[in-house]
Amino acid sequence: MERRFFPKRKSRKKGKIENLYKILGTRSNIGQGRIKEKYIEKVKEFPPETHPEEFQEIRRAYEILRDTNKRKQYDMQRKYGGKLEKIMEDAISLMSEGKFEKAAELMDYVLEIDPYNTSVRLTQAELFLDMEDIGKFYDIIDGIMEECDTEDKQYVLFIGTNILYTNEYYDEALAMLEKNKKHITDMKEYHKLRIRVFLGSDDFQQAWGEFKHALPSINNLTIEDLNMLTCWLNVAMNLEKWGEISKIQNYIRKLSKIITDEEELFILRMDLLKEAESYVDVSRYREADILMQLASQIFRKDMGIQERRKEIQPIAKLEKELERLFRDREVIPYVIMKIEGMFALEYFDSEYYSEFLDNYPHEMMEEQKEMKEDIAYGILRVKKKYPSLYKKFSEELTEIFNESTKGLNREQRRRLR
């Protein structure tokens, strides 16, 4: 049989430029060392368990502002200077509303006053991409690259690449990076950006090959590497590279021992819980349990984590048995699909259960419905080889077994023993 149905984690769309400093409850002149402090304050105010949407915004803002390179790129895009800032805010608002012509007029006005404003020109490049005029987008980026200082070229390149992949021009984003690679000095950021582009296009296999270049050695990890580590773990799980999981978990455990700052440990805890719950949200309990196992090992005294793992672990065990069952050629597909339907009804939310039903092989199930002896044998094998599944759904399986053995003769019943 084909691999069983798995819900996908929902992708996160990236919006237009917004005030990330405001999201963290601070101002743009905040010192780099205080950004983490503001993040901690906001997360305590909006924890993921009770405010998941707010937490996602806070986490995203922190991921950009805590990294000096990313913060510089962001600041270049939003700092338009003095009275022109309000005009650019209006232009960006018009862009988000799809009123591109009016936004273009405002940007032209700003550039008449300040023709060498790199941030405005970058935003204008994004506007042309929104208008599907990729030629003008390239003209602006190439012009800025020619005029700016050598040390700023890679930042302009990174911003341009981000704009392309945010707008789902994945091949073009990769091509831009390669064309201008000679200007890049921060190779780790280069590989991280390639990972983001590959993941944007759901090319997990290509992304997988980039991680060895994007991360430092296991002994040189810092809290800044956490996002890439969890991303690495997510890709491994999506590619079902189960044999690699322990290696990645070792990296994260090592990070937990390297960092001693309580606030950084708090960030690590919240990140692992957030990732685990994102899998629970789409009924992928095996992946959630991998993350909760890691969290429970690192934070052994945290009873909240220990209790949550106890809730997720038995469901993950059922899911792993179901995975093995799908590869068992001695069990008729009719029985397998019946059990997966029971699992989906019990543990999928309504949205993903409906998606499961859309993929349900109704025609095959009707064809195999009368294969009574095979159905009975399949249920007996489940009872023997997949005890957790049988125990969980014993009532339903017993009913199916009794129904399938009603018309069997003595010889058929003997073969079932």
Residues 52-81 pLDDT 10s: 888 889 988 998 898 887 787 677 656 544
Per-residue H/E/C for the chain: CCCCCCCCCCCCCCCCCCCHHHHCCCCCCCCHHHHHHHHHHHHHHCCCCCCHHHHHHHHHHHHHHCCHHHHHHHHHHHCCCCCHHHHHHHHHHHHHCCCHHHHHHHHHHHHHHCCCCHHHHHHHHHHHHHCCCHHHHHHHHHHHHHHCCHHHHHHHHHHHHHHHHHCCCHHHHHHHHHHCHHHCCCHHHHHHHHHHHHHHCCCHHHHHCCHHHHCCCHHHCCHHHHHHHHHHHHHHHHCCCHHHHHHHHHHHHHHHHHCCCHHHHHHHHHHHHHHHHHHHCCCCHHHHHHHHHHHHHHCCCCHHHHHHHHHHHHHHHHHHHHHHHHCCCCCCHHHHHHHHHHHHHHHCCHHHHHHHHHCCCHHHHHHHCCCHHHHHHHHHHHHHHCHHHHHHCHHHHHHHHHHHHCCCCHHHHHHCC
Specify the pTM.
0.77
pLDDT band at 296 (very low <50, low <70, confident <90, very high): very high
Q: What mean pLDDT do residues 216-242 have?
A: 95
pLDDT band at 414 (very low <50, low <70, confident <90, very high): confident
* 176 contacts: CB under 8 Å, gap ≥ 6: 141, 157, 160, 161, 164
Q: What mean pLDDT do residues 365-389 have?
A: 93
258 burial (CB, 10 Å; 0-12 / 13-18 / 19+) is middle
pLDDT at 68: 82
Q: Report how far Cα 112 is from the mean position of its chain's Cα atoms.
A: 41
Which tokens in the block code for residue 363? 């025609």
Q: At residue 210, does pLDDT exceed 90? A: yes
Q: What mean pLDDT do residues 32-40 have?
A: 90
Residues comprising the chain, all counted: 417
* 57 contacts: CB under 8 Å, gap ≥ 6: 23
pLDDT at 83: 62
The chain-wide mean pLDDT, for the chain, equals: 89
What share of the chain has pLDDT > 70, as a percent?
Answer: 94
Query: Which of 266-280, 304-318, 377-391, 395-409 is the least confident region?
Result: 395-409
Q: Which amino acid is at 200?
A: G
pLDDT at 408: 81
Query: Which of 223-232, 358-367, 404-413 is the least confident region?
Result: 404-413
pLDDT at 14: 42
Of 26 and 352, the structure prediction assigns the larger pLDDT to 26
